[in-house]
Structure 1
Amino acid sequence: MSTPVVVLAGFLGAGKTTVLNQLLRSATDVRLGVVVNDFGAVGIDALLVAGWADSAVSLENGCLCCSTDDGSVDELLARLTAPRRGPGLDAVVIEASGVADPAAMVRRVLTSSVPGVSYGGLVVVVDAVEFAAARRRHPELDDHVAMADVVLLTKTDLVGPEEAARTAAACRELNAWAPVVPAARGQLDARLLFEPRPPRQRQLALGEVVAGHPDGPDGPDGHGTHLHALYDTLTFRSEDPLDPRRFVEFFQRRPSGVFRVKGFVRFAVQGFPQRYLLHTVGAAVRFERGPWPRGAPRVTELVLVGAGLDAEGLRTALRACVHEGPPLTDEMAMMGVLRDTEGA
């Protein structure tokens, strides 16, 4: 499995570092690689630095931190994901400078030559208190929100529900597709952005850490019941394969309340018997294909995470993706899936 690289952006004071520190403090079962503008921005002292090596800080909770003061993004990603650093990272989070262009940082990740890493989405942090004033001072903020895969609405605890709703609505006008996720005090469950791997099995084969596996998010050692009460989860299972064209269309029109989908899919196309492991965060969709584990049922199992989900409507839309009858023979039906498949 590749390591997703999430770009965390937002203007100065929006709460990026607070979000990052909250992720680190809550990373009891998550191993993160972090790239920051400078070490001082992250609460290193509070997290107790265990040692220094190659411009990287090793935190006591097992996470690693690099500074962008020296070296390119590729060099830092290679340093953080080097095999000699032990078990694989669950994800890398890059905190973009408050004056940086998020699009440029995203391009650097997308064009990275470091093996084993993949783009995990652009998360733009928006200050619910200062959003209107920030838009006047920084017109480019509208562009940042418009290109986001996920919008995090911080400081919602400092404004009333009506003001928070107005800010969320303004963000949706700029980006009708990306989910707008409240993150009061910067609190965000890491599992909303990426899939933690079981600590004892971080290098598992494809698909063994998704819904239904004993160590998956809904298994006895998983985290399916640990999501913050603010978020909803929905599961979907089908023993019949899915029509890839309908499934891609579902993703193109799925409601913004769905900001993460994880699981594995079986498609009804002749010549494509593999299992497709699916990860999405916001608009970023990624498939990884591999063999079905010996003895595993060849079924589609998905977990959808979001806020205010219309469970019945989503299940109806997913059931409409199920293919009945003989396998499809048109390989072009898989083009939409292969476009987002690693190694395709």
Structure 2
Amino acid sequence: MKKRLPLTVIGGFLGAGKTTLLNRWLREANGLRMAVLVNDFGALNIDADLIAATHGDTTALTNGCVCCQIGDDLGRALVAVIEATTPFDAVVIEASGVSDPWRIAQIGMAAPELSLEGVVVLVDASAVAQQAKDPLLADTLARQVKSADLVVVNKADLATADALAGAWAWVEATAPGTPCMETTESAVPLELLSGVTQADAAAHVCGPGCHAHHGQHGHGAPDHGALFQTWNAQPDAVIPAEALRAWLRDVPPGVLRLKGLLRTGESDWSQVQFAGRHGSLRKALPPVGDGRAGVVAIGLRGQLPEGALKAFFAR
């Protein structure tokens, strides 16, 4: 059973912080081999010390990641990633500033080798409420946010109190119920929508390498431990697939990301995934090693419904 390649789509209007987010994820890859597909190769401005080699529209990085310019054919770029000699762990596509990220996500969903992890859409906290009043921009901005599994209200440090309140009001009115988070400098942890393993996710969110940064100016890594909360369990009980599917249709508010490998029958195992608003359950091979099931959930600190998670998974 070949593992499907996790796909994340990054969207948002011009200047919202997509390139900053991609650069941050590339720096924080921490052993995860990512393929990043972009429209404008030059705009990425990858840190020089990360670049190993450049060939045409592809740059190979020292950490095993690659960046490729999409050109005229996203499908062809995706095939090249899927068929790479050394397999990737995840693929990230940056949608152009005026495009609908959901259309790109649908292209990815059409490939059986890919698994859509989610659509992350950034908005500029200092400008989005004003931009949304422009009749030429309103429809594009609304379509982008409505397609999101996670909305990132970015550049909060550059916004006045009124602009920030306006940004939140617009997002909540345009995409009610969609998970949202507020950031500066695109400080979104890779674990939220990237395809890292459940063990990696638990280690990365609050583990080594986190440096205080939340709410401060500077260039350090974000303090994910201060922003986010993680919960994990190793359920011994069999959780029937139908019960899992029913739970995924009504995930408790506050869960931004959940993934795990669970026993769904005496000899049946399934991979469970939830990101933003979408959940899935797929048959899987049993875990290696001790054979234990495992699940990890991530949410904003103080908003993760640990009681509800324990009641279902740790019963």
Say whether the fold is shared (TM-score over 0.5): yes
Runs of 4+ in 1 over 6 A off after TM superposition: none
CA contact (8 A) 1:4 1:92 kept: yes
Shift in alpha-carbon separation, 1:246–1:289, aligned structure 2, 3 A: closer
How many residues are treated as equivalent by the alignment?
293
Query: What stretches of structure 2 of length at least 5 have no aligned partner?
Result: 208-223
Which residue among 264, 273, 276 is the counterpart of 1:267?
A: 264
Shift in alpha-carbon separation, 1:95–1:264, aligned structure 2, 3 A: same
User: What is the deviation of 1:33?
Assistant: 0.5
Give the CA RMSD over aligned residues: 2.7
- Structure 2 counterpart SS, 1:167: helix
Deviations 1:202-235 (A, max 9, x none): xxxxxxx434xxxx545xxx43532442001112
Aligned residue in 1 for 2:198: 210
Deviations 1:14-41 (A, max 9, x none): 1111111111122233221111112111
- Structure 2 counterpart SS, 1:257: coil
Deviations 1:144-166 (A, max 9, x none): 21221111111012236775455
Structure 2 residue 272 is matched with structure 1 residue 278: yes
Aligned residue in 2 for 1:201: none
In 1, the alpha carbon distance for the partners of 2:297 and 2:81 equals 30
> What is the TM-score with the length of structure 1 in the denominator?
0.75
Q: In structure 2, give the amino acid aligned to 1:128.
A: A
Shift in alpha-carbon separation, 1:228–1:188, aligned structure 2, 3 A: farther
Aligned residue in 1 for 2:177: 177
Aligned residue in 1 for 2:214: none
Q: Please give the residue correspondences for 1:164-203 in structure 2 after superposition, counting only pairs within 5 Å.
A: 164=164, 167-196=167-196
In 2, the alpha carbon distance for the partners of 1:7 and 1:217 equals 19
User: What is the deviation of 1:293?
Assistant: 4.0
Shift in alpha-carbon separation, 1:287–1:250, aligned structure 2, 3 A: closer
Structure 2 residue 39 is matched with structure 1 residue 37: yes
Query: What stretches of structure 1 of length at least 5 have no aligned partner?
Result: 197-208, 323-344
Structure 2 residue 298 is matched with structure 1 residue 305: yes
> What is the TM-score with the length of structure 2 in the denominator?
0.81
Percent of aligned pairs with the same amino acid? 32
Shift in alpha-carbon separation, 1:36–1:230, aligned structure 2, 3 A: same
User: What is the deviation of 1:189?
Assistant: 1.4
Q: In structure 1, give the amino acid aligned to 2:128.
A: F
Structure 2 residue 78 is matched with structure 1 residue 77: yes
Q: Please give the residue correspondences for 1:82-161 in structure 2 after superposition, counting only pairs within 5 Å.
A: 82-84=83-85, 86=86, 88-112=87-111, 116-137=113-134, 138-140=137-139, 141-159=141-159
- Structure 2 counterpart SS, 1:105: helix
